[in-house]
Amino acid sequence: MSVGELGRVAMDPFSQLILLIALVSFFTFQWLFHSVSPWVSSRISPGFLRLSHKQKIEWNSRTVSTFHALLVGLFCLYILFFDDAVNQDPVWGDPTLVKINVGITTGYLISDLLLIFYYWRAIGDKFFVVHHVAALYAYYYVLGQGMLPYFANFRLLAEFSTPCVNQRWFFEVLGYPKSSKPNIANGVLMALVFFMVRIAVMPVYYCRMYSVYGTEAFYRVAFGGRCAWICSSICLDIMNVMWMHKIARGCYKVLRSGQHRKTDVQENGKTD
């Protein structure tokens, strides 16, 4: 295919629509961060107004990430259950719906990267930068060449763990004791959901990857696309295992503190 033909393919109406979706997504998430989250948070949670400037920045960032996670996560489930073309041909199946979902996520990731760099002292995190860049590198091939829609969509399942992770931070910054019932319930739910959507699904993901390895469809994927697919998957899963380890330790500590508190109350009840 010539350069001219590549240019025409890149500028087809659907590609322009995906570009528009990514741009709208970027500006929407910027608007949610700068305007919507502060306005809504100050009315829903009085504790928001007592936060420091850095805490408010992180609060708004996490609010936006929760909204994004629920939006693309639900879209992801719909594709996983009802998009037969993608499920039957995981490498080259019709990527229309996946491209729309990935376009939304691309806009969010670029928006979040911009905020991370601009507010580095408040929300800067090198692991999140690596995570976002690795994801964007892989999504470039999905959006640009329509390859690997099943695997791109499957990766977005991980977003379902985000709301609980953010809620833990909200409880902490609002002063909820780690041994409080809301904190314990959220901690247990966070560990379970994180394990289910990021760790337990690994065998399914890599078995499906192995099933297409060496096939004609696999070799039709450009070398750069294969590197983006395999290397990004391994990189993201290494970080997922690291995060799972931290979450499991935190959940264990919260459960232990809750058990100690319950024991103390029982002992005090006996002595009174």
Two structure tokens written together for 44: 């829903």
Expressed as residue numbers, the domain containing 127 is: 3-271
pLDDT at residue 62 tops 90: yes
Confidence of residue 264 (pLDDT cuts 50, 70, 90): low
pLDDT for the residue numbered 260: 59
CB under 8 Å to 16, separation ≥6 — which residues?
Answer: none
Q: Supply angle C-alpha 61, 64, 66, rounded to 5.
A: 110
Number of domains in the chain: 1
pLDDT tens digits, 221-254: 888 888 888 888 888 899 899 989 988 888 887 7
pLDDT > 90: percent of the chain? 62
Token code pair at residue 185: 């319930």
Q: pLDDT at position 271, please? A: 41
What amino acid occupies position 179?
S
Cα dihedral 147/153/154/157 (nearest 10): 160
Which phi and psi angles does 179 have, rounded to 5°?
A: -90, 5
Residue 182 CB coordination number (10 Å): 11
Nearest to 162 by CA among 39, 46, 88, 76: 76
- Cα separation, 66 vs 159, whole angstroms: 9
Q: What is d(CA 257, CA 263) in angstroms, rounded to the nearest whole number?
A: 10
pLDDT digits (tens, 9 = 90+) for 93-119: 988 999 999 999 999 999 999 999 999
- Containing 176, the helix (H) or strand (E) segment is none
Say what the pTM is.
Answer: 0.85
pLDDT at 8 over 60: no
CA 38 to chain centre: 22
- What would the mean pLDDT of 193-217 be, rounded to a whole number? 93
Q: What percent of the chain has pLDDT over 70?
A: 89
Q: Please give the average per-residue pLDDT across 134-160, as a whole number.
A: 90
Mapped to the 3 state alphabet, what secondary structure does 5-39 carry?
Answer: HHHHHHCCHHHHHHHHHHHHHHHHHHHHHHHHHHH
Spell out the residues 6+ positions from residue 59 whose beta carbon is closer than 8 angstroms to its own.
37, 41, 48, 51, 170, 173
In contact, 135 and 109? CB cutoff 8 Å: yes
**Sequence letter at residue 161:** S
